[in-house]
Amino acid sequence: TTHFVVILHDVTARVVTEMQMKHQAYHDALTDLPNRIMFEDRLQLALAQARRDGTLLALLFLDLDNFKSINDQHGHQMGDRLLRVVAKRLVACVRITDTVSRLSGDEFTIILQGLDRIQDIRQVAQKILDCLIAPIHLHGQNVPVQISIGIAVSPKDSTDPGCLLAIADQAMYRAKDCGGQRWYFATPEWNLE
């Protein structure tokens, strides 16, 4: 062999585009948090890990109590900015191993895994309330935020991902019924301690 012919083709642009498309498929466009698809995948993985390790997993379902009035009063652009700030605050409240997701609208979830005590879950839930109690300053206005948190714990409440989400959602509505700006466990006795 005396000669070689080499044809080079730069695929960088295609690879970058594919990576962007994959990111968009699994992340919320507004907050860049994991979306429902990634949340469901991470919840299944976290439940499997909790079963193997014999630890608790908590699913927190969060909903802003006053988001509709904020949107109505300040407009949807202000509402979007508020959701981005809330997302950043939520991420700051949990460990890097936990998952904060935006499901839709003003609904967020947090998967807390590798826990040994219910008290650990209470502390994180209270930290979230404390973190969001300060008004969010947007374009010269202080916008107060209130949040209700429903908490379902595996294995006590359920080990099924769909059931656990539904139970956490129901617990969130109980928190709203109690006046909002609070957390509420699906297992009633855990709210009393």
Distance of CA 177 to the CA centre of its chain: 21
- Report the DSSP beta bridge partners of residue 23: none
Report the C-alpha gap between 181 and 185 in whole angstroms: 14
What 3-state DSSP class applies to 6? coil
CB of 112 closer than 8 Å to CB of 98: yes
Transcribe 110-174 into DSSP letters. Answer: EEEEEE--HHHHHHHHHHHHHHHHSPEEETTEEE---EEEEEEEETTT-SSHHHHHHHHHHHHHH
- Omega cis (within 30) before 155: yes
- Report the DSSP beta bridge partners of residue 100: 110
**Cβ neighbourhood burial of 122 (10 Å; 0-12, 13-18, 19+):** middle
Return the active site residues: 106
